[in-house]
A and B are shown apart, each in its own frame.
Chain A
């Protein structure tokens, strides 16, 4: 039991049928994470990083669906669960915070009620039929969580409405909703993108404290490699629905293996290195409905050769713990029979 990872994705593939064909928003994504770990999913818009999070919670809206793969949470495959059983997991064992706090919070209910709701739904404080009404104890817990996430004067703020909160405070309220049942895993989808830098620093500090104090594992989805580098233990870089590179944060940032990761690092202006010109990645993000049979990054890649477009490229282990999906690591020798989900 000790060795079972908290969350394990195997060959997760999520598909959206569109008028122009099937879009594989998430294609053969495999990773696992341990208790208390912080994983960063990094990539540009449309690379499928948010879809991974929604797939984990099985919140993919029809006609989109999970086509294949396993989502093992504490050893159980979440795909086998009934929708009722899934509901006991969402918000209790795995919770999620979204990018835009104001559109996530319900404007018609007070912030306190909204934090309270998930406690009540999951009957966390319910001591059985004979115990006294849990309401008072639940409220106590809500106030406690509000204090923990740094909402000042929580007793008064309990009855305030979302629009009376500033952006940073709304995001704190959202984090409070996510944390009130003490989940083992927190999915954070660009939690600071809508916020200012100084507020972003506050929220990251809060999430770091939660991770340390409660051992909550966190998956942080972000487009900002710098943010991921500061906050995460492990980074997975995604491009066009697939993981292209994954490894411990320092390895990925200091010795990026995949040309796309290198491009991402070089196209950001770096403070203290102004003499380094930013090198844009030429071209545009590819259309997911019309991907080439081989490497999706090849048309923009400075190292690409004809063989790159030939067919699936597996994740190649470049050093223990580091994987990268590029033929560069095997001297452009592609073997027939390789699939996207393989690891060599």
Chain B
């Protein structure tokens, strides 16, 4: 637990309270007329509280459709949440601006939130505009940041390219001229150009080859140290999460079901879902393999999630009817927070 809270900050860099992100599926008039289809609500994120501390890497894991990408986009304000607040250093983000005091003592000023929070997307093939050169791709955020002098912009672009391990002769190339790993490096340079404090990395390595993944992971770690970045690292690959995160939050069907320091969470997972997830990782070494827990069924649809604890239809450790009736609050189990009725009796949060 070297890095988390190492800054000694008492205010989280990003604080999210009771975030809900609901998407509405509205069938067309004709469909409604001909069938009994009605408006449906996808509860992609359904009441999430999350703190990201300065300088840490918070890993967010979960299976597809659990809402982790949606949460990442809400935290960078790409989505306006249906409900809930996001604070930056304790100051609420309103619209797309936030009141910050640059050095802590000067009078505070309004800053565009995108200056502070950037995102790296999963698929480097679709997240870079194929009609723009690297110069334009990286130059756009620089211009937004206020680097108006073209010579200075060029200099900084070259610097950024070098920093992420690309050659400056690549500056006038188009995205299709690069391999997947190189494209992801361009995305990283684009995010860095804004000099953000907080970066959401949404599955940045999952579309890359195994031997290339490690290059990008190491690059992200170096950059974090160099620029004092704070990461929310979204992935479904638990070994990558284990490697890069200080703290981990596990998501299931729009809720965070467990969070805690990486080592403790991987050593003694408390929530039955986390236990099953960890047991399902294929291990290279025999002695590292856990007793297999095979969960029945698949992840239910977020359109009509199960009542109570959303995990109860697949759970192997149900306590009783309360699991079906009531969503559990977080219980503090040592330094992990677990949303499971098994731990009723421990101190609870909200």
- Number of A residues, CB within 8 Å of B: 44
Which residues in window 193-236 of A have CB below 8 A to B?
A: 196-202, 204-205, 223-227, 229-231
Q: Is there contact, CB below 8 Å, between B236 and A267? A: no
Question: In the docked arrangement, what's the CA distance between A223 and B237, Å?
Answer: 14
Question: In the docked arrangement, what's the CA distance between A168 and B262, Å?
Answer: 29
A102 / chain B contacts, CB cutoff of 8 Å: none
Interface readout for A266-300 with B: 1 if CB under 8 Å, 0 if not?
01111110100111111011000000000000000
Interface membership of B286, Cβ < 8 A: yes
Q: Is the interface of B mostly helix, strand, loop or mixed?
A: helix
Interface residues of A (CB under 8 A from B): 44-45, 166-169, 196-202, 204-205, 223-227, 229-231, 250, 253-254, 263-265, 267-272, 274, 277-282, 284-285
A268 / chain B contacts, CB cutoff of 8 Å: 210, 214, 239, 284
Q: Please, which residue of chain A has its CB at the minimum distance from the CB of B241?
A: A269
A227 / chain B contacts, CB cutoff of 8 Å: 282
Question: In the docked arrangement, what's the CA distance between A188 and B211, Å?
Answer: 23
Instruction: Give 20 pairs: A residue, B residue, CB < 8 Å, sorted on A.
Output: A44-B209, A197-B63, A197-B280, A198-B294, A201-B280, A202-B294, A205-B292, A224-B282, A226-B282, A254-B285, A263-B211, A265-B284, A267-B210, A271-B238, A271-B283, A278-B214, A278-B217, A278-B218, A278-B243, A281-B214
Q: Is there contact, CB below 8 Å, between A197 and B217? A: no
Q: How many A-B residue pairs have CB under 8 A?
A: 119
Interface membership of B317, Cβ < 8 A: no
Given contacts A196-B299, A223-B210, A270-B239, contact A280 B215 (CB under 8 A): yes
Q: Is there contact, CB below 8 Å, between A167 and B210? A: no
Given contacts A168-B298, A284-B181, contact A269 B240 (CB under 8 A): yes
- Number of B residues, CB within 8 Å of A: 41
Question: In the docked arrangement, what's the CA distance between A7 and B262, Å?
Answer: 45
Question: In the docked arrangement, what's the CA distance between A271 and B262, Å?
Answer: 11
Question: In the docked arrangement, what's the CA distance between A263 and B210, Å?
Answer: 10
Question: In the docked arrangement, what's the CA distance between A201 and B290, Å?
Answer: 12
B166 / chain A contacts, CB cutoff of 8 Å: none
B295 / chain A contacts, CB cutoff of 8 Å: 198, 201-202
Interface membership of B281, Cβ < 8 A: yes
A205 / chain B contacts, CB cutoff of 8 Å: 292, 294
B137 / chain A contacts, CB cutoff of 8 Å: none
A225 / chain B contacts, CB cutoff of 8 Å: 210, 284
Q: Is there contact, CB below 8 Å, between B277 and A197? A: yes
Question: Which one of A197, A229, A264, A278 lies within 8 Å of B238 (CB-CB)?
Answer: A197
